[in-house]
Amino acid sequence: MRSAIIRTDRYARGSIVFHWLIAVAILLNLAIGIGHDAMPRGAMPVHKALGITVLILSLARLAWRMTHRPPPLAPDMPMWERTAAATSHWLLYAFTILVPLTGWAMVSGGPVRRPLEWFGLFPIPYLPVSEAAAGAAHEGHEILGYALLALVVVHTLAALRHHLILRDSTLVRILPILRAPTPR
């Protein structure tokens, strides 16, 4: 039966869309977060709205991941690489939720509450947090934000190692375009 044929060599289209939407939004938000002091006043409302969007997309992605298994790893992949991949991927899932959540909590209970809006279209409610919790969230947002940046750097280097050095299909199977490199 045609519908029973499942391609196991690529990520599902939904996984690919979630991966790249969230990746681009996070890279933008890391840049705005780290550089906001040098940016125009309009940058921070974009950071917040984009961050809330990442939070919602990441929760939806987690639900998607629970119901869609990724394609299996190459059978000859060493155990340490399997463990490293699984650990870093679950950490990335956790961070894509915790970083925006701490940002939202920090602005919700902070001493000054600026209007919170989704790209000027509608208001975003504040979370019910105390000033003390907001202070802790502020710390958490900074630490987890930089930890996420470090994880993304390692994750990207690992993807490039697979593509350029090991010359396997790890990167290609999550890209909407590009073909696998030809083995040497």
Is 153 an interacting residue with respect to ligand HEM (CB under 6 A)?
Answer: no
Contact pick of 43, 77, 118, 142 for ligand HEM (by CB under 6 A) = 142
Q: How far is the CB of 101 from ligand HEM (least distance, A)?
A: 8
Among 23, 127, 147, 180, binds ligand HEM (CB under 6 A): 23
The secondary element (H helix, E strand) that includes residue 107 is: helix 79-109
CA distances to 85, 94, 127, 152 from 91, rounded to whole Å, are 10, 5, 24, 10
- Residue 13 CA, distance from chain mean position: 17
> From the list 98, 103, 129, 168, which residue makes contact with ligand HEM (rule: CB under 6 A)?
103
Is 109 among the residues that bind ligand HEM (CB under 6 A)? no
Return d(Cα 153, Cα 182) in angstroms, integer: 26
Tokens 């155990």 locate to: 79
- The token pair that represents 151 in the structure block: 């994880």
Rounded distance between C-alpha atoms, residue 131 and residue 122, angstroms: 25
Footprint of ligand HEM on this chain (CB under 6 A)? 19, 22-23, 26-27, 29-30, 33-34, 47-48, 51-52, 54, 65, 70, 85, 89, 92-93, 96, 99-100, 103-104, 107, 141-142, 145, 148, 152, 155-156, 159, 170-171, 173-174
